[in-house]
Structure 1
Amino acid sequence: MFLILQFVLILAFIFKEPIAIAQYVPSWSNRVAPVNKHTDAAKPLYSVQFMTSYVDDHFLNEKFVIDIEAPFPWRDCVVDWNYYEGDCPTCRYPVSCKEYQCTDLQTTYFYRSHSCHSVNSGSKSPGSQHCNCPVNVVSPVDGTCSQALLNYDLFSLNASDGRNPYPSTYNSGPNAGCVPSSVFDSFPENVRGVMAFSRSPYAKPTGVMVVGHNPYDVRVWKDILAICLPSTLSSPGVMFFGDSPYYFIPNSNVDIRGLLSYTPLLKHPDSFGYFIDVKAIVIKGRSINVSYAGNSTTKLSTTEPYTTFRSDIYSSIVRIFLKVTKRIPAAKPVAPFGLCYNISKNRTKPGLKVPDIHLLLQGGSKWTISTANSVKQVTTHVACLAFIDGGLTSEPPIVLGTFQFEDNFLVFDEGDSTLGFSSSLINKGTSCANFNFTTPSNMYP
């Protein structure tokens, strides 16, 4: 049965037409996955957990680095033209070099990096008449380029009503790249792939098929991605796919959407990522005009750990912070940061309290960066302003990084082309680690 469902799903993806299996409409409205923080690589990264191979009547769980700029996902696997004839959990059915997906991913929706060389249009497997589809992939850890073979993959997630996961499982069959295991030597432990969530049509696994309690159910999802990155290693954050109310404990009756502000999402001709327009930065009544140089475009990144500012903007922020925190003794800067504080005498308070930073956005909304997202404690006695000088020619002038996203709820709505953001959930009595991943007994639609 599983292989039949998978085959139907692949056909649906190939022809890009919805397959109506049943008229039943489930009561849940999204899918959900846990998000983990990792600090055992060259830089902090965040992974999302998907169910992948179906072995011995159950799914295997695997973790993938979250990348909201990557054009397509890729992972540790092997392409196999005889996929249905053997038992190989890491094997995937290849995409032929003659199929349109191959052309798309080699010429339009490819990784744009100077570290990559051009790929051949196709190559035959040893001892086979079949033609594989080679594509380039770029590591979010160190920026190195590797060659992958394109395949038809399978990723699965639990359904959710916004409060808990359901036992039902949604499958999606996107195209993905297969790379050798050695490519992941620099990745965080137990992370074996990259999941793409960009604007590319080959990103965001958006499957429509469900197995589980209602095995022939079809669901059309809104193109909405919600991310909540955790600030700790011990408890997961959460990612949602599709429109829904979102509820976190302890305020289980408060929809997180009621806490959100919104700003338009912008497109950039040289990126599949997400951009917003920051008009100004305000710190304790002092304003920095970001757009005076004619470019206030700001990129959001889930692979850059700290927000980067063009030098003129960074210098203005540091200059204001030196004035408004002059009572806090300075410390020798700790790379990659340029402004640090000595907190050894701050024994009465945990950490350090500094003024909020307000990003004034297009449409009049305001994203507030509080102390938890602006100051990083790097040693027992030193805390630093968690921003980086990107240089005089940094383009775009601002890149918002993951430290500033932690415990902030972000909703990327492709349909409305808007970004919803909560600012710090900590200041609202909850956190990204407060979604209840427990599945209540007898919880069925």
Structure 2
Amino acid sequence: MAVFSLRFMLFSSLLLNFLLNLASLSDAKQSFRPKALVLPISKDASTLQYLTTINQRTPRVSLNVVLDLGGQSLWVDCEQGYNSSSYRPARCHSSRCSLAKSNSCSGTNTCGVIVDNTVTGTATTGDLGDDVVSIQSPDGSNPGRVVTVSHFLFACAPTFILKGLASTAKGMAGLGRTRISLPSQFSAAFSFHKKFAICLSSSTSASYNGVLFFGAGPYKFLPNVDVSTNNLVYTKLYINPVSTASAYTSGDASSEYFIGVKSIKVQDKAVSLNTSLLSIQSSTGYGGTKISTVDPYTVMETSIYKAVTKAFIKAAASRNITRVGAVSPFGVCFDLKTVHGTRLGASVPTIDLVMESESVKWSIYGANSMVQVNNEVICLGFLDGGSNPRTSIVIGGYQLEDNLLQFDLANSKLGFSYSLLGYQTTCSNFNFTSTA
């Protein structure tokens, strides 16, 4: 009898320990808070748009959405087969509507928000709601655990607003300065730093994705390259007091990201410019320099474009680079045979965007300035934006590729690397193929 009791007590003790350990593991799983999150970025060969994949709904559906750096929110097409048991409409006058700055209410007691296709400049109204979103957390230089946001706010859009987007796209993912953009919602959900970083790949191959980080670094790329704080140059981010969206409410500030370019140099020589165009006019919101992922190439106001290209052509001629006829949409092209290659792309004059001081400059080397259009011609990847554009300089996606850009929203500053080609890596070298 004593032996039976002893065995029973021993068994009970082991069972209790097992259950406690199981509960502890369950609690640890539930209480896991990632320090950062990560999404892949692909480049569509047809439209040159950058896309990411959002895992949404119950049951889960993977959606391709066009990445919009200055976009206000996540919006998706809800007219074509939106089925989810976890979807919740945002009722009029609720806190969710206030967060989204909604000022309209539908007959179904759902608040409406602006849905903006920034590729085509088309806008409409969509219903605000929330649903489950799943996203991966990074573990060093690898993908880690998948985590879930149960009530992620987004806008339901009609199908017609997809026109002009990549054929696989079901909406757009906004990373802009709003309280319902992806960076704001993810940082609020997991209480991490209100920062995000983008690294766009120059490749259109499905095997070579760029990467989008939410949260602070490290930002690790193969082979063991950490593009962290020490490798970034910082400059101030500016807020345009007038919205640059296709449709907006009077008094709204822009959700896009502006930087303070003070001058432009070509091969270390300052270009003569009308510098008033480089500042944002507080009354109209015109002028200034913004960063865009929906513009495939950098676009400049006509007088700036002419001054920069004139200086570039002169500097290229001094290197015996032969100019040839323009190839649309580019205005300045060269004979490829007269251009040598380097680790940083074509050996051409460097273009520097100089900000608050001579030491804070964004240097654009051949890999980001020159576009090979065929086997014989290479062109300067800058476009003429006309004589009175909304924004004087729009830095486009091609100029961002293989450069890491960190947006620190809490401190309103941009950290940018020089071309990662100089570190002997690229934006496609984050390891998405293995799990921790």
Scaled by the length of structure 2, what TM-score is found?
0.80
Q: Which amino acid letter does the alignment assign opposite residue 434 of structure 1?
A: N
- Give the match for residue 352 of structure 2: 358
Change (3 A) 1:289 1:173: farther
Cα shift readout 1:250-279 (whole Å, capped 9, x = no counterpart): 134x34433211101111111111111111
- 1:244 deviation in Å? 2.1
Match of 1:122 in 2: 105
Give CA-to-partner distance per residue, 1:328-368, whole Å, 9 cap, x none. Answer: 22222122221111225669999842111111112541211
Q: Does the alignment pair 1:314 with 2:305?
A: yes
Runs (5+) with no aligned partner, structure 2 = 1-26, 243-253, 280-287
Counterparts of 1:241 and 1:205, CA distance in 2: 6
Secondary structure class of the residue paired with 1:293: helix
1:304 aligns with 2:277: no
Show the counterpart of 1:180.
158
Shift, 1:22, TM fit = 8.2
Separation in structure 1 between the aligned mates of residue 215 and residue 95 of structure 2, nearest angstrom: 27
Equivalent residue number for residue 68 of structure 1: 69
The equivalent position to 1:149 in structure 2, one of 114, 118, 127, is: 127
Aligned length: 385
Match among 328, 334, 337 for residue 335 of structure 1: 328
Give the Cα separation in 2 of the matches to 1:290 and 1:409: 28
Separation in 2, partners of 1:365, 1:99: 44
Matched, 1:261 2:210: no
Match of 1:166 in 2: 144
Query: What percent of counterpart residues are identical?
Result: 32
More deviation in 62-71 or 30-39?
62-71
Aligned pairs for 1:2-81 within 5 A? 26=32, 28-41=34-47, 44-55=48-59, 59-77=60-78
Larger Rg: 2
Q: Helix, strand or coil for the counterpart of 2:260?
A: strand
* Offset of residue 223 of structure 1: 0.6
Paired position in structure 1 for 2:385: 390
Name which of 178, 193, 197 aligns with 1:222.
193
Partner of 1:284: 267
Asked whether the 8 Å contact 2:198–2:212 carries over to 1, the reply is: yes
Partners of 1:312 and 1:182 in 2: CA distance: 36
* DSSP 3-state at the match of 1:244: coil
Residue 153 of structure 1 aligns to a residue in which SS? strand
SS at match of 1:325: helix
Match of 2:110 in 1: 132
Q: Which has the higher helix share?
A: 2
Equivalent position SS for 2:264: strand
- AA at the equivalent of 2:289: T
The one-letter amino acid of 1:393's match is N
One-letter code of the match for 2:176? S
Indicate how the Cα distance of structure 1 residues 291 and 417 shifts in structure 2: closer, same or farther if over 3 A, else same: farther
Report if aligned partners of 2:57, 2:87 keep a CA contact under 8 Å in 1.
no
The TM-score, its normalising length taken from structure 1, stands at 0.78
Distance apart, 1:106 and its partner CA? 6.0
What letter corresponds to residue 226 of structure 1 in structure 2?
Answer: A
Q: CA deviation at 1:184?
A: 2.5
Q: Which amino acid aligns with 1:382?
A: V
Is the CA contact (8 Å cut-off) linking 1:238 and 1:435 kept in structure 2?
A: yes
Distance (Å, rounded) in 2 between the aligned partners of 1:104 and 1:219: 18
Q: Which residue pairs with 1:93 in the alignment?
A: 88
Q: Write the distance in 2 (CA, Å) between the matches of 1:438 and 1:35.
A: 14
State the distance in 2 between where 1:226 and 1:206 align. Answer: 13
Secondary structure at 2:329's aligned position in 1? coil
Shift of residue 174 of structure 1? 3.1
Q: 1:262 is matched by which residue type in structure 2?
A: Y
Distance 1:434 1:338 in 2: 33
Per-residue CA deviations over 1:107-133 (Å, capped at 9, x if unaligned) read 67xxxxxxxxxxxx3232xxxxx4232
* Contact persistence 1:172–1:206 (CA under 8 A): no
3-state secondary structure, aligned to 1:355: coil
Aligned counterpart, 2:314: 323
Q: Is the 8 A contact 1:79 1:178 kept in 2?
A: no
Whether the 8 Å CA contact 2:119–2:295 is kept in 1: the answer is: no
Quote the residue 1:239 is aligned against. Answer: 212
Q: Classify 1:330/1:197 alpha carbon distance in 2 versus 1 (closer, same or farther; 3 Å).
A: same
